[in-house]
Structure 1
Amino acid sequence: MPQAAQNPFDSLASLRGAVDLSGLRARAQAPQAPAGVPAGESGEQAAPGAYRADVTEANFQEVVELSVQVPVILALWAGYSPESQRVLGLVEEQVNRQDGAMVLGAVDVEGFPQIMQAMQISGVPAAVAVLKGQPVPLFQGPVEEDHLTALFAELLQLAQANGVTGRLGSAPGGTAETEQPLPPLHQEALDAIDAGDYAGAERAYRKALDEQPADADAKAGLAQVGLLQRLDGLNADDAQSLREQAAALPDDVDVQLSLADLDVSGGHVEDAFARIVAFIGGHFGPERETARVRLLELFEVVGIKDPRVAAARQALARVLF
């Protein structure tokens, strides 16, 4: 049975797009990739399956976020490795057979070597599953169809044991549901984020809220852009330094909140929430309100319907009242 491993994704926290963006949850319900991914030694190109996404820096966390619903299979391949292309095709066939019970994230390690480095994998073909944001090593090296069948059966058992039992929607015939266009200001915000223009994205979301104060997606998007702005430029050395500062300065609200931001971006949502709740419980005055406001913003980032948010709300109420 596959076993969960230490999370290697923390070093990706500084990547642009390492935070789920407003509207992406809905847009990612049936991920697809552009055609043109090599499928085998013949050089033929395969059309993407209904449950496949090509993973990039920009959509990495978007794909990983799906792991709270279904297992995500991150399969690593390269143009210089025909074997990795063959294995990728086998993995995609296995994923599509599950009819939405899992999703494939295909990682071109030539185009995005930092993803491979963060996963601590030295060569292709290789694959890692993700359940609730946590990696589960699957294989590294050549693999055959019968072994994949058994491996994925075990993975689905592990997913069920951990409450990951969702299914991604698809239209009849196995094709993904048609993606609905985003409202113009939301699209403007996402385009600005793709361009690294976080101030422009903030303006677009604020304008959307001015027009529709009850726009929940715009509110969440504004919180998410705020997190992206605070994380912008952070690298692995900065992250380690920040953790050391947080340990040495437990009463410094700015340091504690910065580390909470980092933990949310790296998938350690419960740790981030617990850190802020503990700070609120042990402090009074303006820093307590600063921490409370940040916690509410991070609730929006994670998603107000997320069970981790519900649990943190209860914990917050206990320390406030």
Structure 2
Amino acid sequence: MGLNLDEQKAVDRFRDDVVEPSMSKLVVLDFWAEWCGPCKALTPVLEKVTAEYADKGVVLKKLNVDEEQFIASQFQVQSIPTVYALFQGRPVADLTSARSETQLRDALDQILAQLPIGEGGGEQPQHDVGQFIEMAEGVLAEGENERALGIFAQVIDMAPDNAAAHAGLVRAMVAMGETDRAREHLDSLDPTLAEAPEIKQARTAIELAGDKVDDSELASLREKAEGGDMDARYAYAEAAFAAGQRDAAADELLAMIEADREWNEGAARTKLLQIFEAVGLEDPWVVATRRRLSKILFG
């Protein structure tokens, strides 16, 4: 479920070999391949300079793109050599253009002057796993709910306090129809984490999923809505969204707002805003639907 075995192993290797060292050091990550002539020319430069900077907290890690295609794809590596500087799991600079020793030293000096490398006393930093969360969100948007669930679970394994990963996991469970399991997961979270905006978004998704009905009942609600009764239309919109038919739900709610925006104290608009929150305000579908709503409200 989720990542296949090879992808899971790749993530584990990357976490152990690159992310973990970067939590306290500056990792120079070199994407290369055996057949790449420029890569072989760059290797001595990278090895020499990073060795010189070892006592300043710099370490070189090399990633063979032929052997680690999954990780390379997450970094959207288009050509090699590609070289990044990573700190606390986050790419902080693209060093690909630094091909000479002088250029690389200048780049490292500039980076090191801005980072708290070697400073103690702080809390253990959280892994930056944004690329994997973005991938999981994309998979979830495509309807591959079980696969998304597995990726979010991997992210939580790497970064247990990542609110976005927990929220994504819950939304994947909701999409799979496992709302009870989703509620249990939210209830198990630390109270501080539970107050994160992403977690509140996930709770909204669970609430909206509570309106789910079977196909025959959904069809019956649709027939009743076609009669024009606002209560019936509202019930159909709720059920349609819970069934994963967000376009149908939005179309119905927008039509209701256009017909009578004040009905039931603006209930249709309130429900649509709840849907926006559950899906995510930055989601392209939400952005497009908000434009439709604004056109109705403000002409």
TM-score w.r.t. the length of structure 2 is: 0.44
Q: Which has the higher helix share?
A: 2
TM-score w.r.t. the length of structure 1 is: 0.42
